[in-house]
Amino acid sequence: TVTTTITASVTPTVTETIPIPSPEKPIETEGLPYYVPQYPTKQEKEAIIAARKIMRERWPEKVTLRVLCSPDNIPDFEPFYPEWEKETGIKMETRTVPWPDWLKELMSIAVTKTDEYDVLMVCPLWVPDLAEAGVLYPITEFVEKYKPEVVDPNSPNRILDPLQPYMRYKDDYYFFFNDTDIPTLYLRKDLLEDPDEKKEFEKTYGYPLDKPKTLEEWRDQVEFFNRPEEGLYGMVMSWKDETPFDFFPRLVSQKVLPFNEEMHPNINKPEAVKAVEEMKEMLKYAVPGTLEFDFARALEAFAQGKAYCTLIMTWAQAALEDPAFSKVVGKVTYAPHPGRIVDGELISPQVQYWGWGYAVSAYSKNKELAYLFCQWISGAAMNARVALTPGGWFDVCKVSNYDEKMFPEIRRKNGGIYMDEWMEVQKWQVEHSFPALVIRGGTEYTGVLLEGLSAALKGATDPQSALNEVASKWEEITERYGREGQIASWKSCLAMYSPPVKRWLGLE
C-alpha cells in the first residue's frame, strides 16, 4: 500500500505580476532549518535560478513534484520543501512506500508507466536494474547543461572522488549520489585503552592491544572481550540481512572477486569458504540473537554497552553520541574493516553497500524541474543540512564537507554531529572502497547470497555446500538475464572500484 504525506503549501513571494521570484532575487537564508552559512553553494543557487526561469516561462501553469521514498526518509526531505516552494513556486509532495516494498514499487513503474512520481530516492545497488528497466531517466543532458559542482573535478564541492563513478551506469548519469554508507567498525575505546586490559591482552596473545588492522587481530579481540557472565559480548552484528558487510571485504581482501571476467561465480572458491568459516568463528562471541538482528537492534545492543564492537552503517556514529539513546557516549572509537597481510602488504578493501541519492523518473512530466530539485538538494551545503536532520539516513559526501575549514559546523565539537576521528576513518574508507554487486540483478544475486550465508552461519548446512548452492543459482540468474549483457554490467561495476582496490586486485 502506498501512503501519502503532503506538506502544507507555502504562498510564494509576489514578484511583479508573476508569483514566482525573479531570477535576480536573492535567495533567502534567514530562519532556515538546519542552516549552514555555506548555503547556497553555486550549484544550489543555480538550480533555484534555473527553476525560477522555467516556472516564469510556464506561468500560470502550476507544478507539483512528487518524491518517492520510504516513510523513514520523510525527515530527509520535508523540512526543506517550504523554502524550495517559496524560492521556485514549485510545490512538493511526498509519496512513501514501506521499506520491504520500496524496490518493488520502483520496478513496477516500468510496467505501469505512472507519472505519479518525479523524484526517486534510490541506492547504487538498485540503479542497474532501474536503468535497464527504463524506470530512471538518464540525466546526462541536464548534467552537461547545468554543470553541477558535484561532478566538477576542480570544485571543492564535488563528491568524494572515488564516489564519482557511482552516479553513472554504463555511459550515462542516472542519479546524484548524496551519501557514503561504508560500514565502519565501532569499538569500545574505554576497553581498548584500559591499561589493565592492554596488559592482560598482550600476556594472552603475545602482541599489543590496539585497533585491529587484520582479521586475525579482530578475531582475537572479540574472543578476549567476550564476557557473557559480565553482560558483555565480543561483538554484535546486523546479520539478519546485512552479512555481506562482513563477507565481501573478507573475500576481496584475498584478491578474489565475486565473479570472474566471464561472469562465472567465484563465490564457492576456497577463499569464499574461508571467509564464511571466519564469520562462523566470530559468531561464537556474538550477542545471542545476532543472526536475527537488523540495523536497529544491533545498534541498540551496542549503544546499551552489551558488546565490545559492531560493524554497522555510518550514521550510527551520531546515535552513539546521543545521551538520550546511548550508554557509551564518549566511549567509542572507529576503524576500517580489518584486512589481511598479503605479500607483506595490508590489503583492506572497504565495501560500499547501501547509500542513497536522487534520481528522476523516466515517466515524470517535469523531468528538468525534477532534475533541478535533485541538483539543489545534492549540493554540498544541502548535503550538510540534510545530514544534520534528526532521524535522517544521509551522510555528507563532498570534498568540502570533509574539510574542517570549509564546513566546521557539522563537527560535533562545533555543535554538529560528526566526530573528527570518524570523519578521518570514513574518508579513508571511501578512498579504499569498492561497491557491492552493482549490476543488473544485483539485488537478486545478493538475496541468494544472503540465504546461503544465513544457512551456513545457522549451521543448517556447511559453508562449502551453502556456497555451491549460491554459485548454482547465480549461474541461473546470469543465464536468464543473458551472459553477454551481464558481463558488460559487471565491467561497469568493476570500473567503480577505487584506485587502491584496483591496484590490489590487478585491475589497473
Query: Residue 205 in contact with residue 374, Cβ under 8 Å?
Result: no
Identity at 498, one-letter amino acid code? S
184-188/175-177 β-pairing: unpaired
Tell me how far apart the terminal alpha carbons of the chain are, to the nearest angstrom: 47
Supply the pLDDT for residue 16.
Answer: 43
- Has residue 157 been placed in a domain? yes
pLDDT single digits (tens) 212-221? 999 999 999 9
Residue 157 neighbours by CB under 8 Å, 6+ apart = 41, 42, 43, 149, 150, 379, 380, 398, 399, 400
**Mean per-residue pLDDT, 424-429:** 98
338 and 210 in a common domain:
yes
Supply the pLDDT for residue 454.
Answer: 98
Supply the pLDDT for residue 19.
Answer: 84
Identify the band that residue 26 occupies on the pLDDT scale cut at 50, 70 and 90: very high
Domain endpoint, select from 398, 424, 450: 424
Q: Would you say residue 12 has pLDDT above 70?
A: no
Q: Burial letters for 3-23: b for 16+ Cβ neighbours within 10 Å, e otherwise? A: eeeebeebebeebeeeebbee
Going along 112-261, which residue ranges are E strands?
Answer: 119-122, 168-169, 172-173, 175-177, 184-188, 233-237
**Mean per-residue pLDDT, 435-449:** 97
pLDDT single digits (tens) 287-302? 999 999 999 999 999 9
Supply the pLDDT for residue 304.
Answer: 98
417 and 397 in a common domain:
yes
Supply the pLDDT for residue 88.
Answer: 98
75 and 87 in a common domain:
yes
Distance between CA atoms of residues 189 and 508, nearest Å: 38
Using a 10 angstrom Cβ sphere, with 0-12 exposed, 13-18 middle and 19 or more buried, the burial of residue 247 is buried
What CATH number does the domain containing 387 carry?
A: 3.40.190.10
- Has residue 475 been placed in a domain? yes
- Has residue 429 been placed in a domain? no
Q: Would you say residue 64 has pLDDT above 90?
A: yes
387 and 256 in a common domain:
no
Distance between CA atoms of residues 366 and 368, nearest Å: 6
Q: Would you say residue 7 has pLDDT above 50?
A: no
pLDDT single digits (tens) 334-369? 999 999 999 999 999 999 999 999 999 999 999 999
Distance between CA atoms of residues 344 and 335, nearest Å: 21
Tell me how many domains the chain contains.
Answer: 2
Supply the pLDDT for residue 95.
Answer: 98
Distance between CA atoms of residues 180 and 204, nearest Å: 37
196 and 162 in a common domain:
no
388 and 275 in a common domain:
no
**Mean per-residue pLDDT, 157-178:** 97
Q: Would you say residue 3 has pLDDT above 80?
A: no
199 and 155 in a common domain:
no
**Mean per-residue pLDDT, 300-310:** 98
**What share of the chain has pLDDT > 90, as a percent?**
93
Predicted TM-score (pTM) of the model is 0.94
Domain endpoint, select from 379, 403, 424: 424
Identity at 276, one-letter amino acid code? V
172 and 219 in a common domain:
no
Supply the pLDDT for residue 17.
Answer: 55
Supply the pLDDT for residue 100.
Answer: 86
**Mean per-residue pLDDT, 110-132:** 98
Supply the pLDDT for residue 389.
Answer: 93
407 and 466 in a common domain:
no
Supply the pLDDT for residue 408.
Answer: 98
Supply the pLDDT for residue 360.
Answer: 99
Q: Would you say residue 18 has pLDDT above 80?
A: no
339 and 408 in a common domain:
no
Residue 219 neighbours by CB under 8 Å, 6+ apart = 278, 281, 282
Residue-number span of the structural domain to which 309 is assigned: 184-351+436-505
- Has residue 430 been placed in a domain? no
Q: What are phi and psi of 498, to 5 degrees?
A: -70, 155
Name the β-bridge partners of 346. Answer: 341
3-state secondary structure of 286: strand
Neighbouring C-beta atoms of residue 176, cutoff 10 Å: 26
Supply the pLDDT for residue 2.
Answer: 39
Distance between CA atoms of residues 414 and 7, nearest Å: 31
Identify the band that residue 51 occupies on the pLDDT scale cut at 50, 70 and 90: very high
**Read out DSSP for 147-164?**
--GGG-TT-TTSBPGGGG
DSSP single-letter state for residue 18: B
Domain endpoint, select from 424, 445, 478: 424
- Has residue 106 been placed in a domain? yes
Q: Would you say residue 5 has pLDDT above 70?
A: no
161 and 61 in a common domain:
yes
**Mean per-residue pLDDT, 437-447:** 97
232 and 97 in a common domain:
no
Supply the pLDDT for residue 9.
Answer: 33
Closest CA to 437 of 463, 465, 470: 470
pLDDT single digits (tens) 227-279? 999 999 999 999 999 999 899 999 999 999 999 999 999 999 999 999 999 99
Q: Would you say residue 180 has pLDDT above 80?
A: yes
**Mean per-residue pLDDT, 307-314:** 94
pLDDT single digits (tens) 455-476? 999 999 999 999 999 999 999 9
340-342/345-347 β-pairing: antiparallel
